[in-house]
Amino acid sequence: MSKIQNYALGIDVGSTTVKTVVLDENGEILSHRYQRHLSQVRETVAEQVKALQEQYPDAEFSVCMTGSAGLGLAQSAGIPFVQEVHAAFLAVKADYADADVVIELGGEDAKIIFLTGGVEQRMNGSCAGGTGAFIDQMATLLGITADELDALSLKAEKRYPIASRCGVFAKSDIQPLLNQGARREDIAASIFQAVVDQTVSGLAQGRQIEGTVLFLGGPLSFLQGLREAFVRTLKLDGEHAIFPENAPVFVAYGCAMFAKQSEEAQPLTVLLEKLSNARTGGNTVTGEPLFASRREYEEFVERHKAHDLSFADLQTAKGDAYLGIDAGSTTTKIVLITEKGELLYQYYAANRGQPLDRIVKHLTSIYTRKSPELQIRGAAVTGYGEDFIRAGLGIDYGIVETVAHFKAASYFCPDVDFIMDIGGQDIKCFKIRNHSIDSIMLNEACSSGCGSFIQSFAQALGYDIGEFSQLGLFAEHPVDLGSRCTVFMNSSVKQAQKDGATVEDISAGLSSSIIKNAVYKVIRAKSMDELGKNIVVQGGTFLNDAVLRSFEMELGRPVIRPSISGLMGAFGAALYAKEHCPKQTTLITPEKLAEFTYRTTNAKCGGCTAHCALNIVHFPDGGKFISGNRCERGAGKASGRQTPSMYDEKYQTILGCPKTPDGDTPIGTVGLPLALSFYEQMPFWTTLFTKLGFAVEMSNESDRDVYYRGQHTIPSDTVCYPAKLAHGHIEDLLDKGVDFIFWPCMSYNFNEGETDNHYNCPVVAYYPELLKANNPRLTEENFRLPYMDLNRPKSVSAALKVCLKGYTLRVPLSEAISAAYDAQKQYYADMAAKAQDMIAQARKDGKKIIVLAGRPYHIDKEINHGIHKLIASLGMAVVSEDSVAALGHLTEPLGVLNQWTYHARLYRAAQYVTTQTDMQLVQLVSFGCGIDAVTTDEVRTILERSGKLYTQLKIDEINNLGAAKIRLRSLVAAMEEGGAS
């Protein structure tokens, strides 16, 4: 009998995988394993331990566990635990002592360890994608595996900016790219780039990633493209980028080292015993089962059968037919109907990123199979891919989705007063009043935990979506997963799994959280009665019986779900084509369709300074479809006279503020960042400084590059994008070599009256403090941030006196200050007058007017992404909130404390809009603006009280206007309908 070996075992239980490493007595790795656990955490661990037991029957093991999903298991089984970053730290210290930084990407966590210059270990916050799960989710979206995604990325030619804060954001960037025909290779590379950007900005938080970098974790060892993206972005050479061979199990290795140091060796039987005795269950909240019995379910199914459509046979039907296409975000839907509304052909499937190819295939199939006596008289298309499909296939009409859905819903329920559509990517709800769309509620970019989420989840757990949702129907204890965004739900699911929830319970829980998301986040209903009497639900997600049932349970009564729930958009489009039947359809003929091909090229628009990156799809008839442009110019259409917009007007005025002092050479150069409050107070500060004899240097106009330049000094990744951009502007001014950068801190803004107070928001008020603390290049000398209150000239002059000490001012301070006040006043007056001119001109031209209500810094084109141009392209004039606010006077008390100057303007502008028949208000909200959580509901109330529509556009670094366009077009459609009734 041989002597008993003393080995060490490290078990790393991550969110998606289990990794084990065995060390021998000398600390050498004997064996390691890497396995997906598909949420069967305990079973998978036990399985691996059993395998080890067979492999090393004579050994005893010191054991320790680590990993995000290991924490709960270790606790309940009584197994020693070491925090995973710490485990990694131990292994790095032992094997790679000269590493400066360690980056580890796991399934759902991202970690970074700084080893030199003060050890620091960090993990992603609770709102952070950019991990393995994110990559998986994106691969799913493209209909490929992560490995295939990797292979594609290596053939990329260009990269698009994609947000990676969470999967939902990224999806809303990627989807339109797909639908517009961007190359999948380029998208794949962009996805990896997004992960890198997320790591650099979200994780490094103000520390530079320099020196020798060690890369760990599954994704970084399996995905070549991701590794290259990191190396390229961090500008590392081969020597300084280390990818250890055992990277996927590195943390388990560290964990084993920890076990070796601090735990007693035991036979593995003890460990197995502990595992099998582990208490499961715990603090997860569970809800009611969806169905008490199978009979109840059958009744439910029977009830919904009532809303079936009748069918006709494509091969034998004669007469007229109408084609409807819904090119949705993740799915493509096609229907062909007869004059009587019978269904001749239907198609519903994921577009796998190639919507046009799918449609061509199915249209071909329709053409070949249909009887010669059936004539397609008209066609309409709706959805994200509308323009693209329409251009390629000669579809007669393009309509906005909301209109299509309303058409379809009315067909099933003429008295419908509420429609809820949950698709793959969007939740759309609208109220119907007087047979027209009354108010539209769409999910914001951050809450779209919709259909595609369930699908990604099903796949992650190894099920197909149909099977997975079926599982939930008879779950005994559906878990309560809350109503937050998908990233949060991932961790909720993790916790539920830890507590022993079954796949069935999780499936049911996910269905119910989709409903909660829709009801409480999108509709924001206080009580279910608000929704109305006749509710029609639709969208592919409602085909899922568990989701439908959850909604009925939350509502407490039945709703109508047409059997073609997933096809409603296409059906509505077909109905539209039928109603508006053209004399001669322009739909592509069978002959032309047979030889249809297209190819994609890239170009840069030269129409203006924005230089939009264009994607051009060429069709065989010489036609082109251009996307990526923000205004009509890029689309290659005749430019004509651009509709003027106050956003451009203000922006140009701010840029044109005086920069050189009168007379002699300047007494110094002051740098003013083109950020936050400067977008309004530039006239004040430029006048002040030039009068005093300074030359003024403004930072460069914002673009993506400005953001990247300051990214490494951003300490809080959840702050709003306008604030994040400020970091780049500071870098820019520092590079320009100004004598000092000036940025005052101001608790208060100008008092414009009719408010409770006149604060700045905390970010605008004190951001200079944060900049000073996080940009090591800033000093007392080169960055001056005096505190002052512009309502008290005395405080301004006192603060400036201290701030500008040492300079021989050209005129007395008081004179310059009073000139500054005058300039600011003049600016306000000019802008108000200009707005009136624009309104008058728009009225003369018979155009509608939109008050685009945001904050002064929303005129920055990197912040508004050209939304004002988009509105102008829809044929409406754009004025800003501040240019009309003074004309509105609140007639009723507000339900909130009206204490921020910028936000007070929103209320007054809204009030003003209610007095003008040809105006509507669109509110711009920056993601992360906590104060807008207060203002949005109030602005909505003011508008809706007077029968106006409320439209909100949430913006972030996402550089895509697809979703905004749908909202704005829905608004236009609703305005037209409103005008007709």
Partner 1 sequence: MSAKFTPEMKKTHTILVPDMLPVHFRLLISILSAYGYRCELLQTASRAVVDEGLKNVHNDTCYPALLVIGQFMEALKSGRYHPDRTALMITQTGGGCRASNYIHLLRKALEQQLPQVPVISLNVSGLEKDPTSGFQLTAPMLLKFLYGVLYGDLLMLVSNQCRPYELKQGETEKVLRRWQKKLEEAFKSGAYLHTKKLYRQILDDFAAIERTKRNKIRVGIVGEIYVKYSPLANNHLEEYLLSEGCEPVIPSLLEFVMYCAVSKRVDGKLYHFFDSKVLKNSIGYELIYKMQKAQIKAVQEHGVFEPPHDFELLRARADRYINQGVSMGEGWLITAEMAALAESGTENIICTQPFGCLPNHIVAKGMMRVIKDAYPNANIVAIDYDPGATRVNQENRVKLMLANARKPEDAE
Q: Does 899 bind partner 1 (CB under 8 A)?
A: yes
Q: Does 494 bind partner 1 (CB under 8 A)?
A: yes
Shortest Å distance, C-beta 121 to partner 1 = 6
- Enclosing H/E stretch for 13: strand 5-13
Give the 3-state DSSP-derived string for 620-646, with helices as H, strands as E and coil as C.
Answer: CCCCEEEECCCCHHHHCCCCCCCCCEH
Query: Of 675, 723, 667, which is closest to residue 698 (Cα–Cα)?
Result: 675
DSSP 653-668: HHHTS--S-SSS--SE
Q: Does 319 bind partner 1 (CB under 8 A)?
A: no
* Candidate list 57, 118, 238, 640; residue touching partner 1; CB under 8 A: 118
Q: Which CB sits closer to partner 1, 748 or 807?
A: 748
Q: Does 933 bind partner 1 (CB under 8 A)?
A: yes
What is the distance of C-alpha 777 from the center of its chain?
32
Q: Does 931 bind partner 1 (CB under 8 A)?
A: yes
Shortest Å distance, C-beta 797 to partner 1 = 9
Binding residues for partner 1 restricted to 535-594, rule: CB under 8 A: none
Q: Which CB sits closer to partner 1, 170 or 720?
A: 720
Q: Does 233 bind partner 1 (CB under 8 A)?
A: no
- The arrangement of strands across the sheet holding 5-13 comes to 29-36, 17-23, 5-13, 59-66
Shortest Å distance, C-beta 857 to partner 1 = 15
Q: Tokens 């150069």 identify what position?
A: 669
Query: Of 442, 431, 441, which is closest to residue 530 (Cα–Cα)?
Result: 431
Q: Does 723 bind partner 1 (CB under 8 A)?
A: yes
* Candidate list 31, 669, 795, 836; residue touching partner 1; CB under 8 A: 795
469 vs 208, 416, 545, CA distance in Å?
Answer: 45, 28, 8
| Residue 434 near residue 465 (C-beta atoms within 8 A) | no
Q: Which CB sits closer to partner 1, 822 or 937?
A: 937
964 vs 231, 253, 766, 924, 973, CA distance in Å?
Answer: 35, 48, 31, 10, 14
Query: Of 261, 274, 267, which is closest to residue 5 (Cα–Cα)?
Result: 267
DSSP 857-912: GGGSHHHHTTHHHHHHHTTEEEEEHHHHHTT----S--SS---BHHHHHHHHHHHH
- The rounded distance, in Å, linking the Cα atoms of 414 and 326 is 22
Shortest Å distance, C-beta 130 to partner 1 = 16
* Candidate list 104, 504, 789, 956; residue touching partner 1; CB under 8 A: 789
* Candidate list 35, 40, 53, 121; residue touching partner 1; CB under 8 A: 121
* Candidate list 788, 838, 839, 906; residue touching partner 1; CB under 8 A: 788
Q: Does 71 bind partner 1 (CB under 8 A)?
A: yes
Q: Does 1 bind partner 1 (CB under 8 A)?
A: no
Q: Does 420 bind partner 1 (CB under 8 A)?
A: no
* Candidate list 25, 769, 815, 976; residue touching partner 1; CB under 8 A: 769
Phi and psi at residue 957, in whole multiples of 5°? -70, -10
- Taking each helix axis from N to C end, the angle separating 451-460 and 465-472, rounded to the nearest 10 degrees, works out to 100
Q: Which CB sits closer to partner 1, 280 or 495?
A: 495
| Secondary structure class of 444 (helix, strand, coil) | coil
* Candidate list 272, 581, 813, 896; residue touching partner 1; CB under 8 A: 896
Q: Does 413 bind partner 1 (CB under 8 A)?
A: no
Q: Does 98 bind partner 1 (CB under 8 A)?
A: no
Binding-site string for partner 1 from residue 937 to residue 956, where x marks contact by CB under 8 A and - marks none: x-------------------
Q: Contacts with partner 1: how many residues (CB under 8 A)?
A: 82
Q: Tokens 């949705």 identify what position?
A: 328
Neighbouring residues of 846: CB distance < 8 A, sequence distance ≥ 6: none
194 vs 129, 158, 167, 187, 201, CA distance in Å?
Answer: 10, 13, 11, 10, 10
* Candidate list 485, 725, 884, 974; residue touching partner 1; CB under 8 A: 485
Q: Which CB sits closer to partner 1, 492 or 511?
A: 492
Q: Does 288 bind partner 1 (CB under 8 A)?
A: no
Q: Does 31 bind partner 1 (CB under 8 A)?
A: no
- The rounded distance, in Å, linking the Cα atoms of 504 and 488 is 20
How much of the chain is helix, strand and coil, in % rounded to 5?
45, 20, 35
- The rounded distance, in Å, linking the Cα atoms of 438 and 530 is 14
Binding residues for partner 1 restricted to 429-448, rule: CB under 8 A: 447
Binding-site string for partner 1 from residue 587 to residue 626, where x marks contact by CB under 8 A and - marks none: ----------------------------------------
Q: Which CB sits closer to partner 1, 524 or 580?
A: 524
Q: How many C-beta atoms lie closer than 10 Å to residue 624's C-beta?
A: 14
Q: Does 813 bind partner 1 (CB under 8 A)?
A: no
| Secondary structure class of 86 (helix, strand, coil) | helix
* Candidate list 3, 97, 245, 283; residue touching partner 1; CB under 8 A: 283
Q: Does 484 bind partner 1 (CB under 8 A)?
A: yes
Q: Does 765 bind partner 1 (CB under 8 A)?
A: yes
Binding residues for partner 1 restricted to 193-232, rule: CB under 8 A: 205-206
Binding residues for partner 1 restricted to 734-763, rule: CB under 8 A: 745, 747-748, 757, 759-763
Give the binding range for partner 1 (CB under 8 A) out of 320-328, 538-546, 695-703, 766-774. 766-774
Binding residues for partner 1 restricted to 501-530, rule: CB under 8 A: 516, 520-521, 524-527
Q: Does 291 bind partner 1 (CB under 8 A)?
A: no
Q: For residue 570, give both structure tokens.
A: 């296409």
* Candidate list 483, 541, 544, 677; residue touching partner 1; CB under 8 A: 483
- The rounded distance, in Å, linking the Cα atoms of 189 and 880 is 38
Q: Does 106 bind partner 1 (CB under 8 A)?
A: no
Q: Does 767 bind partner 1 (CB under 8 A)?
A: yes
Phi and psi at residue 229, in whole multiples of 5°? -60, -40
Binding residues for partner 1 restricted to 330-369, rule: CB under 8 A: none
Q: Does 719 bind partner 1 (CB under 8 A)?
A: yes
- The arrangement of strands across the sheet holding 535-538 comes to 436-442, 427-433, 418-422, 535-538
Shortest Å distance, C-beta 897 to partner 1 = 5
Give the binding range for partner 1 (CB under 8 A) out of 68-76, 183-191, 603-611, 876-884. 68-76
Q: Which CB sits closer to partner 1, 741 or 849?
A: 741
- The rounded distance, in Å, linking the Cα atoms of 842 and 832 is 15
Q: Tokens 């390629």 identify what position?
A: 392
* Candidate list 491, 563, 600, 818; residue touching partner 1; CB under 8 A: 491
Query: Of 610, 613, 570, which is closest to residue 177 (Cα–Cα)?
Result: 613
Q: Does 729 bind partner 1 (CB under 8 A)?
A: no
* Candidate list 4, 119, 301, 655; residue touching partner 1; CB under 8 A: 119
- Enclosing H/E stretch for 513: helix 503-516
Shortest Å distance, C-beta 847 to partner 1 = 33
- The rounded distance, in Å, linking the Cα atoms of 226 and 229 is 5
Neighbouring residues of 556: CB distance < 8 A, sequence distance ≥ 6: 528
Q: Does 907 bind partner 1 (CB under 8 A)?
A: no
Shortest Å distance, C-beta 123 to partner 1 = 6
Q: How many C-beta atoms lie closer than 10 Å to residue 288's C-beta?
A: 12
Give the binding range for partner 1 (CB under 8 A) out of 577-585, 791-799, 811-819, 867-875. 791-799
Binding residues for partner 1 restricted to 655-714, rule: CB under 8 A: none
* Candidate list 227, 362, 498, 810; residue touching partner 1; CB under 8 A: 498
Shortest Å distance, C-beta 903 to partner 1 = 11
